[in-house]
């Protein structure tokens, strides 16, 4: 078993973003191509306006968020309000990862990313389980 040295630093925003992009690239077609059209944003914590809008007091409670209109609800007559966005929040993800202690960081980031894309695609729990067998 390897142990982290005293000079090891926490995974940064770039690593979380890289893991999220890898999760997108692992999606089956045609979802992969559609997913590449969604903006991925990785921040340390959710912005205050998001927390306020969701009535969340503790920023560690939110690991990810889909912001947009699910594909199952979009219409060609809709006026675009901006790109759909998947937000991932590094510090809450790292906190959950440490608390769990039984999954890799890549597995957790993939799970959060797939879960947020599920909102975008309008997937059911069964649909999610096919792509992300997290609960097995």
How many structural domains compose the chain? Answer: 1
Structure tokens of 61?
Answer: 């409670």
Q: For residue range 71-90, list pLDDT tens digits in order.
A: 888 777 766 677 899 999 99
Degrees to nearest 5, angle at CA 62 with 59 and 66: 130
pLDDT at 1: 43
Q: Is residue 59 part of a domain?
A: yes
Domain extent for 109: 13-68+83-131
Three-class SS of residue 109?
Answer: helix
Dmax (CA) of the chain: 57
| CATH assignment of the domain containing 30 | 3.30.2010.20
Q: Is residue 4 part of a domain?
A: no
Three-class SS of residue 61?
Answer: helix
Cβ(132)–Cβ(126) below 8 Å: no
DSSP code, position 85? E
- What residues are paired with 87 via a beta bridge? 41, 65
What confidence category does residue 5 fall into, taking pLDDT thresholds of 50, 70 and 90?
low
pLDDT at 7: 62
Average pLDDT in the chain: 87
Q: Is residue 3 part of a domain?
A: no
């Amino acid at each position: 078993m390897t142990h982290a040295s005293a000079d090891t630093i926490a995974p940064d925003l770039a690593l979380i973003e890289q893991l999220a992009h890898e999760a997108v690239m692992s999606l089956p077609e045609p979802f992969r191509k559609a997913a590449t059209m969604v903006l991925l944003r990785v921040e340390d914590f959710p912005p205050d306006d998001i927390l306020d809008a969701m009535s969340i007091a503790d920023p560690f409670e939110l690991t990810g968020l889909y912001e947009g209109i699910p594909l199952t609800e979009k219409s060609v007559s809709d006026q675009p309000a901006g790109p759909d966005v998947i937000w991932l929040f590094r510090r809450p993800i790292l906190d959950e990862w440490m608390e769990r202690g039984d999954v890799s960081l890549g597995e957790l980031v993939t799970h959060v990313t797939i879960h947020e894309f599920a909102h975008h695609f309008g997937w059911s729990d069964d649909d999610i389980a096919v792509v992300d067998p997290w609960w097995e």
